[in-house]
């Protein structure tokens, strides 16, 4: 299954999830089977991480993972099962004095990505391969785990209900933000706003500082604009529901 909308390449994962849902009955049966025994769960995680590492060593030539078709469905399925297993054991994993601290998971995430950057710099000098940047690698899997447990440990540390509710509210917007951010970013470039920002930053900075400022400003601008668009869409939907709901009554 390939993305039929070439200009919206960020939708690749939706088609991967469709493939996963088509095989969900088989996937559910397998998960039920390994859930019966903790040793099966451990064996699955060990075998799967070895598969990822082995594939990374071969620069993705072993399994040929990708963003489409079976090449995307297989690693996605493995990561979904990992997420399930980590979730059902999260309380036990977060009981320790070390692992319950959000800082540990943030450090792990940053450390893994620094290692990823070092590997990629080496690849640029040799083969030019970019396989290590993608999500279907051992580093991608472990980074996802760190983000997952950072969220769990952070929510445990913060007892303020209003703050937690605000985080959940913001989280409910993220899927739509992801959907609209790509075309919105392209629109910003088309109207020349990206070039204006580049020229303005170029007057006050160069090199690494320029790259950092440009990335920070563009990320913030695209996120805020996407969030505003999503808020407007949700407002229209709510008003429509109220309007038609009152008419039906």
pLDDT tens per residue, range 1-56: 555 555 566 677 788 888 888 888 888 999 999 999 999 999 999 999 999 999 98
Domain end residue (candidates: 157, 184, 214): 157
Q: Are residues 192 and 108 in the same domain?
A: no
Whether residues 93 and 194 share a domain: the answer is no
Residue 184 lies in a domain: yes
Quick one: average pLDDT of 56-71?
Answer: 86
Residue 69 lies in a domain: yes
pLDDT value for 1: 53
DSSP of 112-138, one letter per residue?
A: HHHHHHHHHHHHHHTT---GGGSSSSH
For the stretch 155-208, pLDDT in tens is: 777 777 777 777 778 878 888 888 888 888 888 888 888 888 888 888 888 887
- What is the predicted pLDDT for the residue at 249? 45
User: In the predicted model, what is the mean pLDDT of residues 138-153?
Assistant: 89
Residue 55 lies in a domain: yes
Q: Which domain holds residue 212?
A: 174-248
For residue 111, the model assigns a pLDDT of 92
92 in a domain, yes or no? Answer: yes
Res 78: pLDDT: 92
Kindly state whether residues 152 and 181 are assigned to the same domain: no
234 domain residue, yes or no: yes
Residues 138 and 205 in one domain: no
27 in the same domain as 147: yes
Residues 70, 125, single domain; the answer is yes
DSSP assignment of 27-58, as one string? HHHHHHHHHT-HHHHHHHHHHHHHHHHHHHHT
Selection from 50, 65, 36 nearest residue 135 by Cα = 65
| Same domain as 45, residue 95 | yes
Reported pTM: 0.74
Say how far apart CA 71 and CA 48 lie, in whole Å.
15
Instruction: Give 11's contacts (C-beta < 8 A, 6+ positions apart).
Output: 3, 5, 179
Q: Are residues 197 and 153 in the same domain?
A: no
- The confidence score (pLDDT) of residue 39 equals 92
Task: Spell 38-73 as b/e; 16+ CB within 10 A means b.
Answer: eeebeebbeebeebbeebbeeebeebebbbeeebbb
Report if residue 168 sits inside a domain.
Answer: no
Token pair belonging to 156: 């445990």
Based on the domain organization, do 14 and 48 belong to the same domain? yes
Same domain, 22 and 139: yes
Instruction: Decide if 196 contacts 214 (C-beta within 8 A).
Output: no
Mean pLDDT over 47-66 rounds to 90
Instruction: Give yes or no: residues 145 and 243 share one domain.
Output: no
Residue 144: helix, strand or coil by DSSP?
helix
Which residues fall within 8 angstroms of residue 5, CB to CB, at 6 or more apart? 11
Distance CA 226, CA 220 (A): 10
Last residue of a domain, one of 125, 157, 189: 157
* Whether residues 34 and 91 fall in one domain: yes
Instruction: Looking at 158-173, list the stretches that DSSP marks H as alpha helix, in order from N- to C-terminal side.
Output: 161-171
For residue range 237-247, list pLDDT tens digits in order.
888 887 776 55
- Residue 117 confidence (pLDDT) above 80: yes
CA 236 to chain centre: 28
3-state secondary structure of 7: coil
Domain count, the chain: 2
Domain assignment of residue 94, yes or no: yes
Of 93, 125, 157, the position where a domain reaches its end is 157
Within-domain flag for 43: yes
């Amino acid at each position: 299954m390939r993305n039929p909308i070439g200009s919206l390449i960020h939708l690749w994962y939706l088609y991967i999830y469709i493939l996963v849902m088509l095989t969900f009955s088989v996937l559910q049966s397998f998960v039920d089977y390994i859930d019966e025994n903790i040793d099966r769960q451990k064996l699955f995680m060990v075998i799967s991480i070895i598969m990822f590492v082995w594939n990374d060593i071969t620069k993705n030539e072993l399994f040929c993972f990708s963003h489409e078709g079976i090449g995307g469905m297989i690693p996605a399925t493995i990561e979904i099962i990992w997420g399930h297993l980590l979730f059902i054991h999260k309380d036990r994993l977060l009981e320790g004095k070390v692992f319950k601290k959000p800082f540990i998971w943030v450090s792990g995430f940053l450390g893994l990505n620094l290692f990823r950057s070092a590997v990629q710099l080496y690849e640029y000098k040799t083969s030019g391969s970019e396989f290590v940047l993608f999500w279907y690698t051992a580093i991608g899997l472990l980074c996802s785990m760190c983000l997952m447990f950072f969220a769990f440990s952070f929510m445990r540390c913060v007892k303020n209900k209003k703050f937690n509710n605000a985080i959940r509210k913001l989280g409910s917007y993220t899927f739509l933000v992801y959907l609209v951010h790509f075309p919105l970013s392209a629109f910003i470039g088309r109207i020349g706003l990206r070039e204006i920002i580049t020229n303005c930053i170029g007057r006050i900075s160069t090199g690494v500082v320029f790259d950092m400022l440009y990335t920070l400003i563009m990320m913030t601008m695209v996120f805020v604009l996407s969030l505003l668009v999503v808020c407007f869409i949700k407002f229209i939907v709510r008003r429509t529901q109220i309007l038609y709901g009152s008419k039906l009554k």
